[in-house]
């Protein structure tokens, strides 16, 4: 999750909220790719999740990255809660999941190199202290009580609030991991088309990257339990945003939606002030109970936008949020998929043609079916395997059209990053299907085998 935002004076006029989003518009030559991925850490000897402090801990890994590789510390009070270097940051999710939020980069070659370098650095530190990291959409064995809550003010507030709304919020916080891709837009119209495509076709990413078939030590009946969790988390701030598909949607309509999402906090002087359930609209009028008489700054608005969790969302850029955490090669496949779909206009138009006639019922049904059945999903006349094949073919054409070479020109484009997805489409098998086959096959129901065989 995001670190506190900074900068920007008091908001003096409501138009500034939409202007903030619109300020992200960039010419195509300035479009960049940001990849974020989360992973679970554990002690190798016990296969227990990492505590925050200790010889084998989150802090031990963060300090190792700081001291050996020059990452700069991010502190909250006396607690080391993250790192930053060259436009990237390493942060902690609520249950101690370690996240890399990558720098905005020009090509998938670069973002994949960044991911690989990060995992190499983490592994070099982790191996020395007896720690492992694994990429999965949900913790397969650990219970809620096994997962320590990280010492971050926003997480303490969120943890208590999540227990009052929805049914799966604390599961999301402590026991899930995701991969997301952040992309730019050129204009309001470009944002609208990209956000609609991202929301409508997010089930394709959920299906292709499904990697959470276990929970509480056993199969859970879903290929992506992480996606299932998000369906019953907090209806005020999650979902597929039906209003995005209505005529006239734009930055202002997204602002209107965000203003109605209850607040979590206000960040002041290094501390999180409890504003749970309060209204940003009241804040705009100086009537926020948590800070009576104060009006928000643009950094408050930026912070509030980070507390909204739909399947795809906008800030000054677009975030695609539907994929499970996963194996090494799939961390590069996800940006390959979305960049291929979004950064070539012909490809983007083709993607919109696939889904523009779907109604809300179809979009919601695909979201559920992808979570349960992955690539075997079929609903409302749509076969997920056929749809995924079309989407990956479109992405392939989009990456060919981008023609961004790698390895000093030896690799002509970025299409090879889709190979993992082509394999899934050819076999009809997602990572979740492979895990289930191992569990019912040579693992003989011993789920502890997953750590040795699927860690980075």
Percent of the chain with pLDDT over 90: 96
What is the mean predicted confidence (pLDDT) over 18-37? 98
Q: Which of 42, 37, 50 is nearest to 133 (CA)?
A: 42
What is the DSSP secondary-structure string of 385-402? HHHHHHHHHHHHHHHHHH
Q: Work out the pLDDT band at 7, boundaries 50, 70, 90.
A: low
Q: What is the pLDDT of residues 394-414, one digit of tens each?
A: 999 999 999 999 999 999 999
Distance CA 252, CA 265 (A): 23
How buried is residue 83: exposed, middle or buried, by Cβ count under 10 Å (0-12/13-18/19+)?
Answer: buried
32 half-sphere exposure, CB direction, 13 A CA radius? 15
What is the mean predicted confidence (pLDDT) over 358-384? 98
Residue 192: pLDDT above 90? yes
What is the enclosing helix (H) or strand (E) of 192?
helix 188-208
> Helices then strands (H, E): number in the chain?
17, 17
What is the mean predicted confidence (pLDDT) over 207-236? 97
Q: What is the pLDDT of residues 55-113, one digit of tens each?
A: 999 999 999 999 999 999 999 999 999 999 999 999 999 999 999 999 999 999 999 99
Q: Which two tokens stand for residue 14?
A: 């409501």
Q: Work out the pLDDT band at 166, boundaries 50, 70, 90.
A: confident
Q: Which of 140, 132, 39, 54 is nearest to 91 (CA)?
A: 39
Return left, alpha or beta for 293; rule: phi > 0 is left, psi -120 to 50 is alpha, else beta: left
Q: Work out the pLDDT band at 9, boundaries 50, 70, 90.
A: confident
DSSP 276: T
**Cα-Cα-Cα-Cα dihedral of 259, 262, 266, 271, to 10°?**
-160
Could you tell me if 316 and 171 are in contact, meaning their C-beta atoms sit under 8 angstroms apart? Answer: no
Q: What is the pLDDT of residues 299-349, one digit of tens each?
A: 999 999 999 999 999 999 999 999 999 999 899 999 999 999 999 999 999
Q: Which two tokens stand for residue 252?
A: 């202002």
The pTM of the full predicted model, rounded to 2 decimals, is: 0.97
Residue 167: pLDDT above 90? no
Residues 327, 328, 330: CA angle, nearest 5 degrees: 70
Residue 1: pLDDT above 60? no
The pLDDT, as a whole number, for residue 312 is: 98
The pLDDT, as a whole number, for residue 6 is: 55
The pLDDT, as a whole number, for residue 163 is: 86
Phi, psi of 435 (to 5 degrees): -65, -45
> What is the CATH number assigned to the segment(s) 15-454?
3.30.590.20
Q: Which two tokens stand for residue 451?
A: 């750590």
Q: How many CB atoms lie within 10 A of CB 385?
A: 17
The pLDDT, as a whole number, for residue 164 is: 87
The pLDDT, as a whole number, for residue 378 is: 98
Q: Average pLDDT, whole number, for the chain?
A: 96
What is the enclosing helix (H) or strand (E) of 439?
helix 431-440
Q: Domain-by-domain residue ranges, the chain?
A: 15-454
The pLDDT, as a whole number, for residue 160 is: 85
DSSP 186: S
Q: Which two tokens stand for residue 286?
A: 């100086």
The pLDDT, as a whole number, for residue 3 is: 57
């Amino acid at each position: 999750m995001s670190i506190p935002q900074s900068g920007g004076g008091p908001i003096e006029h409501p138009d500034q909220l939409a202007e903030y989003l619109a300020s992200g518009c960039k010419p195509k030559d300035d479009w960049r790719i940001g990849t974020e991925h989360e992973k679970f850490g554990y002690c190798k000897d016990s296969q227990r999740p990492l505590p925050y402090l200790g010889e084998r801990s989150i802090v031990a890994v963060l300090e190792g990255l700081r001291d050996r590789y020059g990452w700069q510390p991010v502190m909250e009070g006396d607690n080391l809660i993250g790192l930053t270097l060259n436009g990237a940051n390493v942060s902690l999710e609520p249950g101690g999941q370690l996240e890399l939020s990558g720098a905005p980069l020009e090509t998938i070659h670069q973002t994949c190199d960044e991911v690989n370098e990060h995992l190499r650095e983490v592994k070099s530190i982790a191996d020395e202290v007896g720690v492992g990291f694994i990429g999965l959409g949900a913790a397969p064995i650990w219970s809620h009580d096994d997962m320590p809550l990280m010492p971050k003010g926003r997480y303490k507030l969120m943890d208590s609030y999540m227990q009052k709304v929805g049914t799966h919020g604390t599961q999301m916080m402590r026991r899930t991991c995701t991969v997301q891709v952040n992309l730019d837009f050129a204009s309001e119209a470009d944002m609208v088309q990209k956000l609609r495509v991202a929301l409508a076709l997010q089930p394709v990413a959920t299906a292709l990257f499904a990697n959470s078939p276990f929970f509480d030590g056993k199969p859970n009946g879903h290929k992506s339990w992480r996606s299932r969790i998000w369906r019953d988390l907090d209806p005020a701030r999650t979902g597929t945003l039906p209003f995005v598909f209505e005529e006239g949607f734009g930055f202002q309509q997204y602002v209107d939606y965000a203003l109605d999402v209850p607040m979590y906090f206000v960040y002041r002087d290094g501390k999180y002030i409890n504003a749970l359930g309060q209204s940003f609209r009241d804040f705009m009028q100086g009537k926020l109970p948590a800070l009576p008489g104060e009006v928000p700054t643009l950094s408050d608005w930026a912070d509030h936008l980070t507390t909204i969790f739909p399947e795809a969302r906008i800030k000054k850029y677009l975030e695609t949020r539907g994929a499970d955490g996963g194996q090494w090669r799939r961390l590069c496949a996800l940006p390959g998929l979305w960049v291929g779909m979004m950064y070539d206009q012909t490809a983007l138009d083709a993607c919109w043609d696939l889904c523009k006639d779907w109604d809300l019922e179809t979009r919601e049904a695909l979201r559920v079916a992808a979570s349960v059945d992955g690539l075997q999903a079929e609903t409302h006349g749509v076969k997920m395997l056929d749809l995924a094949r079309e989407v990956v073919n479109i992405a392939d054409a989009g990456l060919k059209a981008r023609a961004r070479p790698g390895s000093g020109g030896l690799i002509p484009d970025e299409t090879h990053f889709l190979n993992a997805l082509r394999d899934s489409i050819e076999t009809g098998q997602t990572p979740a299907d492979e895990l289930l086959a191992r569990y019912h096959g040579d693992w003989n129901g011993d789920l502890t085998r997953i750590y040795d065989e699927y860690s980075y």
